[in-house]
Structure 1
């Protein structure tokens, strides 16, 4: 004769499975939202105690910031912390004794919506945006737009990857959201 498993055990097992799924979703969202700089971003670089070296700079087409004294610094595919360290090291190399640097994004590069949307084009990025928001900004789907066939092109030129997307997929600055046409 087997003894029935207590209902408490089944409830705990279900709760544990749900908790693990939530943790996995959170980790995926965090991995998608690590932001790296690229052409079109506007960055504020503050060199504390040196107002002439501080200012707002646009990342140029080559992915560089042109800073006083040290010249162009490549920041493409760097986080703000990595860029801060790179700028710090450049100023430390014969220009400043103890540079204290801060780097922050003040304007993101645009994202793009194309395909079966009413107003395809380039739009200002808002942090936390997903595909549904991007399509809404682009005027919504056309009558032939297929919400089940959407992809995001992410990256720069040769390193660009195609990501199958749902309406809940996170959109990053510089992404191209492409909505396919449905046939029936």
Structure 2
């Protein structure tokens, strides 16, 4: 279906919904002019700036900020608490007050979030620009927020930890970023206000002994001892690959020494020790 045909279909659908009374004219206008705004899912919070319109009552059009108490001031009805309400619930609350007060006989209220400042996402850890970011769109996803925060730093891990609340329950997710993109973004989760994204440092390993460049290096996935040695420039003229040792700590934190082969897989914080050749 072409873009023009799709647009015509959307307009026809909105007209039908309006005629059936499912969508108010004000709501239809908002959806027509802002097709990417899924306002029905958004919960209003302190700091949000919203535009309120009442069909056939242009003098009641108001743009206001939700106070820290969650309240706004609206013409004729005064203070209304909309904080913690979804957009449709806030629309119904205002419409009910207008109708019960006898100000508008059949009020059709529409609310459009102009700036969503009440809900923020915290991005911490090893990213380009850690900080708090406003949830300015209702369909913001993990990849969008990482881009806003400058991406993962060079020494950051490939996994992002998401901590938040869904349906009143605390959730914690670990998202593998490379796999997310290689699999078509299936784990590119939508974000919600109050979410925390944390990027830990990338796992590392160490090389010391008779190598070209001893030091600390990033541990890539499924990296073998041979690949680790190559990262360090390989064994120098005095070294040997015979008798390689990998020093690591077990699950209880006790140190252990492993007589490793070149195919041995490394783990985070492993230390490769290259001995000096006797010949």
Which TM-score tier does this pair reach, normalised by the shorter chain? Answer: 0.5 to 0.7
Counterpart secondary structure, 2:159: strand
Does 2:173 match 1:164? Answer: yes
TM-score between both structures, scaled by the size of structure 2 = 0.46
Specify whether residues 59 and 154 from structure 1 end up closer, same or farther in structure 2 by C-alpha distance, changes over 3 A only. farther
Match of 2:237 in 1: none
Equivalent of 1:48, from 40, 55, 65? 55
Give yes or no for contact 1:63–1:74 (8 Å, CA) kept in 2: yes
- Within a 5 Å distance, the mapping from 1:1-184 to structure 2 comes to 34-98=41-105, 99-109=107-117, 110-124=120-134, 125-154=136-165, 161-166=170-175, 167=177, 168-184=188-204
Give yes or no for contact 1:69–1:95 (8 Å, CA) kept in 2: no
Give yes or no for contact 2:41–2:87 (8 Å, CA) kept in 1: no
Specify whether residues 75 and 102 from structure 1 end up closer, same or farther in structure 2 by C-alpha distance, changes over 3 A only. same
RMSD: 2.7
Specify whether residues 176 and 39 from structure 1 end up closer, same or farther in structure 2 by C-alpha distance, changes over 3 A only. farther
Residue 80 of structure 1 deviates from its aligned partner by 1.4
Counterpart secondary structure, 1:52: helix
Instruction: Give the stretch that moved more between structures: 99-108 or 37-46.
Output: 99-108
Specify whether residues 84 and 126 from structure 1 end up closer, same or farther in structure 2 by C-alpha distance, changes over 3 A only. closer
Query: CA offsets per residue over residues 22-62 of structure 1, 9 Å max, x none?
Result: xxxxxxxxxxx932111222211112343332211122212
- Partners of 1:48 and 1:129 lie apart in 2 by 30
Counterpart secondary structure, 1:83: helix
Specify whether residues 106 and 161 from structure 1 end up closer, same or farther in structure 2 by C-alpha distance, changes over 3 A only. same
Number of aligned residues? 149
Specify whether residues 162 and 179 from structure 1 end up closer, same or farther in structure 2 by C-alpha distance, changes over 3 A only. farther
Give yes or no for contact 1:115–1:178 (8 Å, CA) kept in 2: yes
- Partners of 2:137 and 2:109 lie apart in 1 by 26
> For structure 1, which runs of at least 5 residues remain unmatched after alignment?
1-32
> For structure 2, which runs of at least 5 residues remain unmatched after alignment?
1-39, 178-187, 205-279
TM-score between both structures, scaled by the size of structure 1 = 0.67
- Partners of 1:72 and 1:165 lie apart in 2 by 42
Larger radius of gyration: 2
Q: Which has the higher contact order (CA 8 A, sep 6+)?
A: 1
